[in-house]
Amino acid sequence: MNLTRDLIFLVLYLIGVFSIVYWRKQKKDPSLFFYSSTWTFAVILTYFVVLEIFYSTFYFLIPLVFFSIFAFSYFSEKRRLLNGLLFNVFLISFGIYLFVLLYETQNIFLGGLIALITIPLLLVLLFGIYGLIVFLFWNGVTVLRRESHSLANLLTLILAIFLTLFLVFDFFLLKYLPQWINALFLCIPLILIYLFIVFYNFLTVSFLYQFNRPRYNQDFIVVLGAGLINGETVSPLLAKRINKAIAFYWAQSRATLNPPILLMSGGQGADEKVPEAIAMKQYAMEQGIPERDILVETNSTTTLENMRYSKEIMDQQMKGPYRAIFSSNNYHIFRAGLYARQAKLKANGIGAKTAFYYLPNAFLREYIAILMMNKKRHMIICGLLFAGSAFLSLITLLF
């Protein structure tokens, strides 16, 4: 082991992290996570390349191939659920690579890195469901205290109750039932595991989508509408979407002296006094955006319609190729990107930050919506799992 080499890398990494923090803290949009993650990835990649050269091994080529496949898919089209699967395949190959390299090199720093990764994973596998239930109950109660008592805001609490009842049934009641019924109920954990894998993939691709960094050469920023307070006032959630677009507007204006057009997209709900887009336009003008740089789309009632109708307006305005992005909350931008793709609108999203307590419910809503977008496929897979359990139950009953 070359302790000097490893310490040099550690010192360089820490210097880089502190430099990034100092540099980005002076910016209006620090994006610390993005820059710190990029620096961490670059240092780790360089470190492993140096290790490979030092020990004359080439195992790193295997995860590098998987990462290259992911990178090609991601940068050619960010709005793909496949990107999450490809990234997770890369992570698995990289994990195997770490263990192989540790066996070959007996490197202490490498062993420490593996321990930092594997110990939390083991704890999650052993106790994760109990911690998840506690967290979901806490989050459910927190949301009830701060938000309206709608079904959409009860998702974490409902999931916590369901998982608790499932564990009670599995541990205390299932063992008293006949064996053939046990075999039949095997479909429940199998379906839950499948849905968890799909959810994990959705979280992965949503996380990756946050790294979208559009260039300051946009012609339009589509701002997606949301409900108004008392039917006429921009809500805090919607204000964050508009503020994110405004921040990009001013950043591009400073960088190129050619600001984009803000296209406010949102129709008028049954309980709203004005279309959302009109209220959004008024809010943006109050923040200093000139009226000449704002367009409105007032007919949409869904995210898909936001994209379709906004595309029609942009097509009419430009009469040729143009560049566009859209602004929404960070939990919503990936699904909105899927709808933009359906509408044949070439645009990716920038996400406004959302309060942490609100994110679990929000991501569950997004997950359910994406499940419904591909409901036939998921129903077929869950049906096959149930059919397999039913067949096993029948075999157990007969023999």
User: Tell me: the pLDDT tens digits for 226-263?
Assistant: 888 888 889 989 999 999 999 999 999 999 989 999 99
**Per-residue pLDDT reduced to its tens digit, 196-224:** 999 999 999 999 999 999 999 999 999 99
pLDDT beyond 80 at 374:
yes
More confident position, 303 or 56: 303
Which residues have CB under 8 Å from 207's CB, separation 6+?
Answer: none
- Give the residue extent of every domain in the chain: 3-122, 123-209+375-398, 220-354
The residues, any chain, with a CB within 8 Å of residue 337's CB and separated by 6 or more, are 78, 79, 209, 326, 347, 348, 349
How confident is the model over 343-353, as pLDDT tens digits? 999 999 999 99
What is the overall mean pLDDT for the chain? 89
Q: What is the pLDDT, as a whole number, of residue 340?
A: 96
Sort strands 294-297 and 324-329 into parallel, antiparallel or unpaired: unpaired
Residue pLDDT, tens place only, 77-136: 999 999 999 999 999 999 898 888 888 877 777 788 888 888 888 887 788 888 889 999
170: tokens are 């599995």
Instruction: State the pTM of this model.
Output: 0.86
Average pLDDT over residues 355-383: 93
pLDDT in tens, 317-329: 988 899 999 999 9
Give the tokens for residue 19: 């430099």
pLDDT of residue 205: 96
pLDDT exceeds cutoff 70 at 28: no
- pLDDT, tens digit, for every residue of 160-198? 999 999 888 888 777 778 888 888 888 888 999 999 999
Do residues 291 and 285 touch, judged by C-beta distance below 8 A? Answer: yes
Average pLDDT over residues 259-277: 90
Residues 167 and 175: their CA atoms lie apart, in Å, by 12
pLDDT value for 207: 93
Terminal alpha carbon distance of the chain: 60
Residue 17 has pLDDT above 60, yes or no: yes
CA distance 67 to 90: 6
Per the model's pLDDT, the better-predicted residue between 399 and 142 turns out to be 142
Res 1 pLDDT > 60: no
The CATH architecture assigned to 220-354 reads: 3-Layer(aba) Sandwich (3.40)
**pLDDT at res. 230:** 86
Give residue 282's identity as a one-letter amino acid code. Q
